[in-house]
Amino acid sequence: PLTIPDIDPEEARKELLAKYPPKVGRKRSQQIYIKETDGAEDREIMANVRTVPGIITMRGCTYAGCKGVILGPTRDIINITHGPIGCGFYSWLTRRNQTDASAPGAENYIPYAFSTDMQDEDIIFGGEKKLKKAIQEAYDLFKPKAIAIFSTCPVGLIGDDVHAVAREMKALLGINIFGFSCEGYKGVSQSAGHHIANNKIFTEVVGTSDTPVRKGKFMINMLGEYNIGGDAFEIERILEKCGITLNATFSGNSTYNDFASCQLSDLNCVMCHRSINYVADMMETKYGIPWIKVNFIGANASAKSLRRIAAHFGDPELIKRVEEVIAEEMPEVEAALAEIKPRTTGKTAMLFVGGSRAHHYQELFREMGMTTLAAGYEFAHRDDYEGRHVIPTIKVDADSRNIEELEVEADPENYNPRMSEAEMKAREKDGWKFKEYEGLIPDMPKKAMIIDDLNQYEADKLIEMYKPDIFCAGIKEKYSVQKMGVPLKQLHSYDYGGPYAGFKGAINYYKDIDRMVNSKVWSKVKAPWRASEPELTACFVA
């Protein structure tokens, strides 16, 4: 079994909290969880709560979650950012969600950044006129199937009604136009943006067409797979080989019509639970399409997910074909692993990413014989950590669920993924539903630290104390960590690499991580003239 180095995690937690004012320390301490066993535990972690102002959080905003994450990868919807240019510009092409727009006549607006570029004057006198003009201009230039409008913070503050503008322009132009109230400040993180995006896509697009885009015996949708670095292409390759039709992906490499007719699928497979469980629940309620959790990060996890899909359909031919595909794919994976594993075994990692990858990527590290010392999410909710999917009553109305659910989740009185069997039964009578789900905490080894909403100060402290061989996070963390002599793998954008999903992706990952944890360059980070100084001060120099 993988073991954590000889550091007392309670001491480590004290060290992380030592410099905070008492009130902040008390709050943060509830967001730091130490594993006491190697398996599932009954304690709670505090998550999905506001970051204390002044702390340099890793989080992003609600607009980023709505526009960038959920809608971003759909190629033929024109996404107009209503706001000052920065929001549109900084969310332009940074996420590496790839798209296959090679089909003749395929529309692809992903390379463009559409924005109303609001100026002081628009803030003072209102920006609705400018928004209408922008929609008209985009329509005249591209004649798209649909236009989405995304509100940024100032839009909410001055009170522009993007929904009224959307309705008016929809009537005028005769295409689907819809607005999102996804002002950056709307929630505590990106997560609120996912919810806002999903609700609207569900009510405005899903089920609006009965014309199938694809046909097949086993039709599935992949929910929460965003085709970062081409992951969705690899997943599609594997599914196709098995004879499973990937009908719609939400939203990697997707089109408007994929969403519009996705209700014709037989099964929803949820990859990133955090960002999209809402759509899975709503489709189950409205169309009776069941959903299962899958994970295509890691070769073993991919095999397990294929088997889970085949078992769901229960077709003997499919079950046999899936086994054949796994048997065909695995030798190449095993050969790659045999090559690198002697060099990666015993190395240590830390993962602090978004709302699902900090968990999913531990699969790959386990395959490589590496131990995850500490991990956490930027914005996940308690169910992602603790492993039970909870659907409160107010979510059940398939057509009109709203953001209130976030408040339910933020209220520990109301929302407890680890509630007792008796309590669950009582809640079920009130219309609540529960689903067991693989959470991050049960999967982590004894003594591991699970930290929600990690910040720069704590990241530095963790590195000082544990000196991991690799740290996985995003672009904001990358260079400060590397200046401490620890390689950082971006698990958001993959640092220009990937795909990392599926069987071929696992091979890519083994090779990339092997190179990073075994490179000698990290020991040379410290400038020679500072050689006499203690370790890990180089971050203040470079």
Distance between CA atoms of residues 220 and 243, nearest Å: 11
Residue 219: phi, psi to the nearest 5? -100, 120
x-marked contacts with ligand HCA along 384-423 as a string, rule CB under 6 A: ----------------------------------------
Cα–Cα–Cα angle for 33, 38, 39, nearest 5°? Answer: 85
Q: Choose, by CB under 6 A, the member of 434, 474, 525, 538 that binds ligand HCA.
A: 474
d(CA 141, CA 137): 6
Task: With residue 435 as reference, give the H or E element that holds it.
Answer: strand 433-436
Determine the angle formed by the axes of helices 502-518 and 299-313, rounding to 10 degrees.
160
Q: Which does 476 bind (CB under 5 to 8 A by kind): ligand CFM, ligand HCA, none?
A: ligand HCA
Give yes or no for a contact between 229 and 253, defined as CB atoms under 8 angstroms apart. Answer: no
Phi/psi region, residue 527 (left: phi>0; alpha: psi -120 to 50; beta: rest), is beta
Which DSSP category does 57 fall into?
B
Say how far apart CA 362 and CA 368 lie, in whole Å. 10
Name the token pair of 404. Answer: 């209130």
475 binds, among ligand HCA, ligand CFM, none (CB under 5 to 8 A by kind): ligand HCA
CB of 207 or CB of 474, closer to ligand CFM: 474
- Binding to ligand HCA by CB under 6 A, coded x per residue (else -) over 143-182, reads ----------------------------------------
Q: Which of 229, 354, 417, 445 binds ligand HCA (CB under 6 A)?
A: 354
Shortest spacing between CB 388 and ligand HCA, in angstroms: 25
Interaction between residue 268 and ligand HCA (CB under 6 A): no
Tokens of 424: 């669950």
- The residue number with the shortest CB distance to ligand HCA is 474
With CB under 5 to 8 Å by kind, the binding choice for 226 among ligand HCA, ligand CFM, none is ligand CFM
Q: Count of CB atoms within 10 A of residue 178's CB? A: 19
**Whole-angstrom distance, CA of residue 465 vs CA of residue 370:** 18
From 232-240, 259-267, 366-374, 473-481, give the range in contact with ligand HCA by CB under 6 A. 473-481
- Contact flag: residue 371 with ligand HCA (CB under 6 A): no
Contact 489, 513 (CB under 8 A): yes
Two tokens, residue 339: 């090559």
With respect to ligand CFM, which residue has the nearer C-beta, 95 or 170? 95
Closest distance of CB 39 from ligand HCA, Å:
30
Interacting partner of 94 out of ligand HCA, ligand CFM, none (Cβ under 5 to 8 A depending on kind)? ligand HCA
User: What's the closest the beta carbon of residue 223 comes to ligand CFM, in angstroms?
Assistant: 10
User: Closer CB to ligand CFM, residue 188 or residue 228?
Assistant: 228
How many residues touch ligand HCA (CB under 6 A)? Answer: 13
Nearest to 417 by CA among 425, 409, 406: 409
- For helices 231-242 and 502-518, the axis angle rounded to 10 degrees is 140
* Nearest residue to the partner ligand CFM, using Cβ: 354
* Residue 79, phi then psi, degrees to nearest 5: -100, 110
CB of 224 to ligand CFM, least distance (A): 6
29 binding partner (options ligand CFM, ligand HCA, none; Cβ < 5 to 8 Å by kind): none
* Nearest distance, CB of residue 228 and ligand CFM, angstroms: 5
- Given the complex with ligand HCA, which of 285 and 493 has the nearer CB atom? 493
Considering beta carbons, is residue 169 or 380 the nearer one to ligand CFM? Answer: 380
Tokens in use for 149?
């409008």
Distance CA 308, CA 314 (A): 10
Q: Is 95 in the site for ligand HCA (CB under 6 A)?
A: yes
Given the complex with ligand HCA, which of 13 and 476 has the nearer CB atom? 476
Give start and end residues of each alpha helix (H) in 18-127. 22-30, 62-63, 85-90, 120-125
Where does this chain touch ligand HCA (CB under 6 A) — which range of 98-106, 133-141, 428-436, 474-482? Answer: 474-482
CB of 225 to ligand CFM, least distance (A): 8
Which of 74, 190, 251, 482 touches ligand HCA by CB under 6 A?
190
Strands 146-151 and 77-82: parallel
Using alpha carbons, select from 444, 453, 353, 358 the residue that is nearest to residue 29. Answer: 453
Size of the chain, expressed as the number of residues it contains: 542
Where does this chain bind ligand CFM (CB under 6 A)?
65, 69, 95, 190, 224, 226, 228, 272, 274-275, 353-357, 492
Half-sphere exposure of 283 (CA within 13 A, CB side): 32
| Contacting residues toward ligand HCA, per CB under 6 A | 60, 64, 68, 94-95, 190, 354, 474-476, 490, 492-493
